[in-house]
Structure 1
Amino acid sequence: MENRDLELGDMENMIQERVQRFLHRVEKEQSLNEQIIPTIHMAPRTLRDLSPHSFSPRVVSIGPLHRDDENVQFERQKAIYLTNLMKHITSSTPGIIMNSCMEKVYASMEKIKACYVLTKTYDDVEFAEMMVMDACFILGFIHQTFVKNSVDMFYAEDIVCDLVLLENQIPFFFLKEIFECTIAELMPNTPLVNFMHPLLSILNLFDSDVGLNILKNICIDDTHHILSLLHECYKPPKNDNSEEEFSITKPHSAVDLDKAGVSFKPYRSQTWVLGMEMEFPCFLWSWCKCTLRMPIFHVSDFTEVTLRNLIAYEQEARKTHNCITSYAFVINMLVNTQDDIAKLVDSKVLLNVLGSNEEAANMINTICKEVAVVNSLYRQQWKTLDKYYNRYWPKHIGWMRRTYFSSPWNIIALIVGSSIFALTIVQTIFTIGDKK
């Protein structure tokens, strides 16, 4: 009996000890999560299933989420970039530099891991080596490609695409720490954001340097990773909090709006790259043509991947503007067919270097599928545009153009019909005159 009581007592003590250990771990993780919200994770399944190639790296994995992918085993090349980077730093030996890098990663190990929604458990040694290798590779690639201009361009474009993927990131604060141990020794007067500028210029979706120039004044502490840094380029001014629920009953394509008298022109805002505004040349705006001024959108090989990952980041990130999602819904509403692309290209608000207009239209038409929209930055502009379109004259002029001037045959039929009608009237008049 005593033995049984002892066994029960030991069991109770063991359970209490495990409960205390569990509660301690929960409190520790809760405390850490209150400081750091995971920002590097797999894209939402609904978005990923639509376009898996837009979220999976093609050449190189960065961080732990695609570490085991068989198609992106680039470790040997990473080591070459790391070695070349160390060779350029003559102020210290490779051993001293690597020791500094390792000290940085071990000092921030828990903070770095908390940035990820990890799908696998890594021991500290493996995780530290992976993070230092990947950070040095990113910095070495940018240095060799854009500073030294001596990189194998066969891989360069694919690597640039891989560096903007949501699932392929490392925390920006850690990249900055490794930058200070390496590149800062080579380029002491160059901030990390300036160093990243050439990479962001290639990934830039719009024909404007306004957003990239704004980066010089951003707070690194608010930047999660490289994709987040690119997103900073597109945020509206801090005093602009005009996001409202986006609800349009009947979207109008670029061709339909053009037929109703709406023209499109580039908008080069000095404060916000994604700015849009409506212009009316006269006071009675319902009686005159209006102009929608828009940013110049680049459609290239990088566009779909960059756009989808920025949208996925906005869908998951907390406390961030839905600026890219807002723009994506606008351009998606304007484009139904390749004719809409042609209209926007002619209006110089879209630059298509992707290939055919049909290919560009197909890409834009699928970009917003399964994307949840809560707020939009363009609700007011679209409300005004919709109101203008539904006025009597624009609406009926648009209907006449679609009905009678949509093709050469319709125009010919209208001319022939009008001529016959006119001849009939003339003949009737002469007949009446002859009778008198």
Structure 2
Amino acid sequence: MMGSSSARDAAPMMQPSTEEKQTEEEGTLIQQWQWAEPLIYHDLLMLENQIPLSLLRELHGIILSHDKSPSMDELILSFFKEFSLTKHITKIPEGSCHHLLHLFHSSLIPKKQPTTRGIRAQLVAEVTSAIPCARDLIESRVKVKKKQGVACSSFLDLSFDSGRLEIPEIHVDDGTNTLLRNLIAFEQCLPRIGDYLTTYAWFMDSVIDNSADVALLRRKHVLESGLGSDEEVAKLFNSLCKEVMVDPNQCYLEETIKEVNKYHRSRRNRCYATLNHNYFSNPWASISVIAAIILFVLTFIQTLYSMCDSCYKA
């Protein structure tokens, strides 16, 4: 009897306290949060989930009113660094933004923006026509390089100069498709903010024709893939701009596209591209061309030697 009584008396002492229960529950919630965190991040940037940024600031002031709490801008900056597209952002863009997606979009805009101007009618076809894929550009002596340094303020900051096409590196993962689609949809809903993401997606759709182009861009360190295969990356970019129009009068890559097409279509580069595609596209073709050249040179030398020998005997 005394043993049973002692066991009953000891039982309540073995039960966890309220603080221990709370700690256990918080530990479980943290584990769940770590699992759901990437999904929540992308849900916060979906166009249909946006709420006014001013309301978020009001809620932040009410919920986190003590002095030690981080500011709203610090929280937003920490939020942006979770995405590969904005991980290099060090300052919240200035200006009035409607919501979080608008602010995210503003942080992607290149610092050096070209002046918008009207395009002459004869140039519209040249601008709106798709540029060649990466393989065709390489064959026509266009040097595709990774853009870096202080001149690269965003992955949208493409440039072309003297046959050198510089493209900032972009990391493509499972969330890139959803994120780019929401940014493009936002630009379609609010044309006055520009069509930077739409134009970029259209440009990459032109440069990437299939998995071979993706592999080439990866070798050039322009594209880093977190997907299963190059085919998936090509499919992603080829489907972004379906039923989406790019206005040539608002195209921030107008000059870049025009210069790339002009360089690619020059007679000298077209001849070089044809020679490269037909005779140097694979090692066996290159060996055949080199063997033919050597045979031609040897035949010419033999013929010249025979002529000289005939003249000497005469």
1: distance between equivalents of 2:297 and 2:113?
61
Does the residue aligned with 1:167 lie in a helix, a strand or coil?
A: helix
Map of 1:227 onto structure 2:
101
Task: Specify the alignment match of 2:266 in structure 1.
Answer: 391
Q: 1:412 pairs with 284, 287, 310, which one? A: 287
Return 5+ residue gaps in structure 1 as ranges.
Answer: 1-86, 88-143, 281-289
Cα offset for 1:337?
1.8
Cα contact 2:130–2:206 (8 A) shared by 1 = no
Change beyond 3 A, Cα 1:235–1:244 = farther
* Aligned partner of 2:116 among 224, 229, 242: 242
Whether 2:257 is the aligned partner of 1:376: answer no
Q: Match for 1:218 among 75, 80, 94? A: 94
Q: 1:267 Cα shift?
A: 3.5
SS at structure 1 position matched to 2:66: helix
Contact 1:325 1:373 in 2 (8 A): yes
C-alpha separation between the residues in 2 aligned to 1:351 and 1:239? 25
SS of residue paired to 1:205: coil
1:430 to partner: Cα distance: 4.9
Partner of 1:181: 62
Kindly state the Cα deviation for residue 335 of structure 1 after the two structures are TM-superposed.
0.9
2: CA distance, partners of 1:410 / 1:335: 25
Instruction: From the superposition, tell whether residues 239 and 373 of structure 1 become closer, same or farther in structure 2 (CA, over 3 Å).
Output: closer
Q: Match of 1:262, as an amino acid?
A: V
Aligned pairs, how many? Answer: 275
- Indicate the residue corresponding to 1:24 in structure 2: none
Determine the structure 2 residue equivalent to 1:277.
159
Counterpart of 1:309 (choices 173, 182, 187) is: 182
Ranges in structure 2 where 5+ consecutive residues have no aligned partner: 1-21
| Post-superposition offset of 1:195 | 0.4
Write out per-residue CA displacement over residues 77-122 of structure 1, whole angstroms, 9 at most, x where no aligned residue: xxxxxxxxxx9xxxxxxxxxxxxxxxxxxxxxxxxxxxxxxxxxxx
1:70-219 maps to which residues of 2 (within 5 A)? 151-185=32-66, 187-188=68-69, 190-205=70-85, 209=88, 212-215=89-92, 217-219=93-95
**Higher relative contact order, structure no. (Cα contacts within 8 Å, ≥ 6 residues apart):** 2
Tell me, in whole angstroms, the C-alpha distance in 1 between the residues paired with 2:223 and 2:117: 24
**Structure 2 CA distance, aligned partners of 1:339 and 1:362?**
12
Report if aligned partners of 1:276, 1:294 keep a CA contact under 8 Å in 2.
yes
- Alpha-carbon distance in 1 for matches of 2:166, 2:152: 15
SS state at 1:385 partner: helix
Q: Do 2:152 and 2:168's aligned partners in 1 also have CA atoms closer than 8 Å?
A: no
What do residues 304-360 of structure 1 show as CA deviations (whole Å, max 9, x unaligned)? 110011000001114212111121112111111222222222222222222322221
Structure-2-length-normalised TM-score: 0.77
Identity of aligned residues (%): 27
Following TM superposition, by how much is the alpha carbon of 1:423 offset from its aligned partner in structure 2, in angstroms? 4.0
- Decide which of 202, 206, 210 is 1:329's aligned counterpart: 202
| TM-score, normalised with respect to structure 1 | 0.57
Aligned residue number for residue 259 of structure 1: 139
Distance 1:201 1:342 in 2: 27
Q: Distance in 2 between matches of 1:326 and 1:187?
A: 42
Corresponding residue number in structure 2 for 1:69: none
CA distance in 2: counterparts of 1:243 and 1:298, whole angstroms: 32
Q: Is the 8 A contact 2:77 2:91 kept in 1?
A: no
